[in-house]
Chain A
Amino acid sequence: MAGISGVLTYARRNKNLVVGLALLLSLFLFSAIGHLLVDVEKAYPLGAPSSKPPSSEFPFGTDPQGRELLAVAVRGTYLTLRIGFIAGGLGLLVGTILGFTAAYYGGLYDTVVKWVVDVLLTVPALLILVVIAATLTKGMSLDSMALVIALLAWMWPTRTIRAQVLTLRERAFVRVAKLSGATSLEIIFKELMPNLLPLLGAMLINSVIGAVFASIGLEALGLGALRQPTLGMTIYWTMQQSAFARGLWWWIITPIVIIIILFVGLFQLAIGLDELANPRLRRKV
């Protein structure tokens, strides 16, 4: 739509978007390049001598169980992001399908969906997650955690998208498309969805934020995949093994700094996409 110069001018105006993208991109690169340079096996226990402070050999130090923390950082970033995007993405996908179809086709189906969403939204999600996680006797794997989180992530997108489609459905260009012979599915995919792409992008990021938050929360409570060196699990272990009392500051700092960068990046991106999606928020030239 706009040329490169247009993109650059917009970038200047929407600093949040740029900062967010930059932060996230650096985390991605850190993890991606890290996987090539660092042996991620060392992220698991007994991969290295234990409780060593940062040095030239171990830039981030090691933890009491022998995990090399640089490897943990690299691997953990990847795993946490993966859960976030899978769970968030899945939640959004379900929400999109339900939201579009409920709003467009209406009727009893719409009433049921709306009712279910309204009821489920009142249920405290973290509580449910904790209960589910605690009752899984086999223990949580990364993918099952992603699914569980996704289970509670689809409601908000459904409601938002449904609301948007309800208004879009009445727009004149939808009527014109009907007059021109378009079928309902074509209207949903070709007329309505393109207009919601910026919104969907913003919602994806919000979904991901929620999912990452939930996963870190669950893991910090000890309900995550115990063997995996995700960021949340690392925090769990720091608490379990009294990292503060033992003065293992490098162990505490590693996951926290990465989480801060991750959330700041995601939030900045969310604000930036919000502005993109909602022209009324755009600051004037």
Chain B
Amino acid sequence: MSEPILQVRDMRFYYHTEAGSVKAVDGVTFDLDRGTRLGLVGESGCGKSTLAMAIMRLLKPPGRLESGQILLDGVDLARLSEEEMRKVRLGQISLIPQGAMNSLNPVIKVSDQILDGMEDHGIPLARGQAMTTVEQLLDAVDMDRGVADMYPHELSGGMKQRVCIAIAISMRPKVILADEPTSALDVVVQRQIMETLERLRQNMGISMILIGHDMGLMAQSVDRLAIMYAGRLAEISDVQSIFAEPRHPYTRLLIDTLPTLERRGEFRGIPGITPSLLNAPEGCLFAPRCPEAKDACAEVTPNLTEVAPGRWVACHTD
């Protein structure tokens, strides 16, 4: 088994405010195997977007990477200088941030926006070569070549998102982080975008991390799934096992809340509210809402342990 392309080890990212530290990411460890898709799912405020931005080292003070390693093909991104990291971004690892399609520059043509990143990385492109590259990228994301000369406002939501994907793959990175790539899109468009991403993965051998809150989308799109709660990982497993046999109580409850074709009309929610990450205490942060909580749960922080081959759970009751 070859080395995972991305290894995150005990990453901690805190925001330091006058009121204390918000532990947005508190000890997250996971691997992304080459050529696979990892899903990172959690509700709003759980820290998943912070995790993505922190891996890309795009966050500024008062946020700070407290500790941990981010090994991209063996190179620790956390130790790189800003200049070195700038080259790594887009070149080796790229991010499609949340709401990317709304962040396209409205006064610049699509082709120029795609070429922008490449120029910045010092890739010399003659005029004809540039156009060919753009056309190839548009083909790769299943778009008409004519889109190159259009402006973002002339495109639909799905098309804009494809442009963002084209930008993200423009330099053939090793890893793509996609943060809620389809959240504002219709169901059919969503499926088409995910299918495009999948084709890209297969053709270009890119490894992918898909971040979102839609478990259904994850079930259809990823190989392995990580469940995040309050800045920590609750469970990571292959996607079949997670849905068939969830080990962490939060995962179980989360799956229970999802509408399925079987149990019509039954609804379940998770009582309580997500905890504040400000000065988060020791102990399992899910304990107050957990139906299986024991005394030890509130005092000792559970660590991710491998309870079965490839299955990691952070829970005392397992």
Task: Mark A residues whose CB is within 8 Å of B.
Answer: 284-285
How far is A171 from B18 in the complex, measured between Cα atoms in Å? 33
- Residues of A near B62 (CB, < 8 A) are 284-285
- Residues of A near B18 (CB, < 8 A) are 285
Chain B contacts with A in 12-29, Cβ cutoff 8 A: 17-18
Main secondary structure of the interface of A (DSSP, over half): loop
Closest Cβ of chain B to A20, distance in Å, is: 26
Residue of A nearest to B17 (CB): A285
Chain B, interface size category, equals under 10
- Residues of B near A285 (CB, < 8 A) are 17-18, 62
4 sample A-B contacts, Cβ–Cβ < 8 Å, listed by A number: A284-B62, A285-B17, A285-B18, A285-B62
Closest Cβ of chain B to A214, distance in Å, is: 35
- Residues of B near A284 (CB, < 8 A) are 62
How far is A285 from B62 in the complex, measured between Cα atoms in Å? 8
How far is A284 from B61 in the complex, measured between Cα atoms in Å? 10
How far is A285 from B18 in the complex, measured between Cα atoms in Å? 9
- Residues of A near B17 (CB, < 8 A) are 285
Closest Cβ of chain A to B265, distance in Å, is: 29
Residue of A nearest to B61 (CB): A284
Residue of A nearest to B60 (CB): A284
How far is A284 from B18 in the complex, measured between Cα atoms in Å? 13
Return the 4 tightest CB-CB contacts between A and B, nearest first: A285-B62, A285-B17, A285-B18, A284-B62
Interface string of B32-69 (1 = CB under 8 A from A): 00000000000000000000000000000010000000
Closest Cβ of chain A to B282, distance in Å, is: 27
How far is A100 from B205 in the complex, measured between Cα atoms in Å? 57
How far is A285 from B63 in the complex, measured between Cα atoms in Å? 11
Closest Cβ of chain A to B19, distance in Å, is: 11
Closest Cβ of chain A to B61, distance in Å, is: 9
Closest Cβ of chain B to A224, distance in Å, is: 45
How far is A146 from B122 in the complex, measured between Cα atoms in Å? 59
Closest Cβ of chain B to A284, distance in Å, is: 8
How far is A284 from B60 in the complex, measured between Cα atoms in Å? 11
How far is A284 from B15 in the complex, measured between Cα atoms in Å? 13
Residue of A nearest to B62 (CB): A285
